[in-house]
């Protein structure tokens, strides 16, 4: 079974997923598990990430309008680097 991403919006969701797998004695995956990549809790860790990597106030609006590029903002911090 592969569960969709909303479960992983909190760290408690990952714990629940692992307990479910233990309870049923079967593999239960989130998408990251299925793809063989590390779990990343971007939503659950959003406040901490914004403290470590603050964005300019207008960045989200600029991004929505195609005026901001995440690669320019992330530099070497982007996922997979």
Q: Is residue 45 part of a domain?
A: yes
Structural domain contains residue 77: no
- 24 part of a folded domain: yes
Q: Which pLDDT tens digit goes with each residue over 7-21?
A: 778 889 889 989 999
pTM for the structure as a whole: 0.57
80 lies in some domain:
no
What stretch of H or E contains 3?
A: strand 2-3
- Four-point Cα dihedral 5, 49, 61, 13, nearest 10: 20
Count of structural domains, the chain: 1
Here the tokens at position 16 are 């629940």
Which domain covers residue 45, as residue numbers? Answer: 2-68
Look at residue 78 and tell me if it is in a domain: no
Render pLDDT for 44-78 as a digit per residue (tens, 0 to 9).
888 888 898 888 889 889 999 999 888 877 765 55
């Amino acid at each position: 079974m592969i569960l969709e991403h909303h479960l992983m919006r909190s760290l408690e969701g990952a714990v629940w997923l692992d307990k479910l797998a233990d309870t049923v004695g079967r593999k239960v995956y989130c998408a990251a598990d299925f793809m063989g990549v590390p779990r990343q809790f971007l939503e659950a860790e959003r406040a901490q990430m914004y403290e470590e990597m603050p964005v300019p106030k207008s960045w989200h609006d600029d991004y929505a309008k195609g005026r901001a590029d995440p690669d320019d903002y992330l530099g070497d911090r982007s996922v997979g680097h």
